[in-house]
Amino acid sequence: MAPRTPVVLGLVLLVAVGVAAFHFWSVRPQAVRAPEPVADEAAAPALPPDPLRSGGPGHVPRPTAGSPPDEDAVGSASGQIVVDVSGKVRRPGVRRLPAGSRVADALDAAGGVRAGTDVTGLNRARVLMDGEQVVVGLPLGPPVSTTAGGGSAGPGGPGGPGPSAPLSLNTATAEQLETLPGVGPVLAQHMIDYRTENNGFRSVDELREVNGIGDRRFADIHPLVRP
């Protein structure tokens, strides 16, 4: 064998090894990169909340088809008052009236006053309050009962006149209020002034707020009057 033969064979073998190594390197398995994660929801632009979505902020309930509206809510929003009209009217009973109605409106709602009824002491221009009672034609005179000794024995004491029936604080005149025990012209005017400033008496207990009526006088007047 010629001296160059081993050298040539060695070069050929070296080239073959290199080609084989390159071939195996090029076909080796390669790692695949994982896909990029989606951006966090916090980084995404905030969308306005859907008020119709159940449980969402500002949730607006959807009305059920055919469901009637809440009667209490409608009544409170309508601004009505409830008054009791009794006495000598054509249709006595409880009436619902618009807020701000006056006694005259209540009388009309009750069918009007019966013929021959004296309404001189009834202030028909007074503004009504919710829960009030309007009594028409109740006897308000100051009849006096006499005792066996001939002296009068009204609620005001011996010789003092007093009403035989409960007196209406909201309709009585100054002269009628003076028939109450311990009530003179000045105190009667104070009661009328309080009635005017507060749109009437809602209860007898409000007499305590009238200037000049103390506990003792209130105890004497209380059983003889009504709102």
**How do residues 82-94 score in pLDDT, each as one tens digit?**
998 888 888 989 9
Q: How many CB atoms sit inside 10 A of residue 14's CB?
A: 10
203 DSSP 8-state letter? S
**How do residues 48-77 score in pLDDT, each as one tens digit?**
555 555 454 555 455 454 444 444 444 444
In one-letter notation, the amino acid at residue 26 is: S
Which ranges in the chain belong to alpha helices (H)? 5-26, 71-78, 103-109, 174-177, 185-197, 215-221
Residue 52 Cα distances to 60, 69, 83, 92, 102, angstroms: 6, 20, 42, 49, 45
Average pLDDT score over residue span 1-13: 74
User: Residue 104 pLDDT more than 70?
Assistant: yes
Residue 60 is predicted with a pLDDT of: 47
Residue 174 is predicted with a pLDDT of: 87
Average pLDDT score over residue span 126-141: 77
Q: Residue 68: CA atoms inside 13 Å, Cβ hemisphere, count?
A: 5
Average pLDDT score over residue span 149-164: 41
Residue 31 is predicted with a pLDDT of: 64
Residue 107 is predicted with a pLDDT of: 92
Residue 87 or residue 141, greater confidence: 87
Nearest Cα residue to 127 out of 79, 75, 204, 195: 195
Phi, psi of 25 (to 5 degrees): -70, -35
26/162 Cα distance (integer angstroms): 126
Residue 53 is predicted with a pLDDT of: 53
Q: Record the tokens describing residue 201, joined without a space.
A: 């008496």
User: Residue 18 pLDDT more than 80?
Assistant: no
127/101 Cα distance (integer angstroms): 6
192 DSSP 8-state letter? H
CB distance 129 to 82 below 8 Å: no
Nearest Cα residue to 81 out of 191, 195, 200, 196: 200
Nearest Cα residue to 176 out of 155, 193, 161, 195: 161
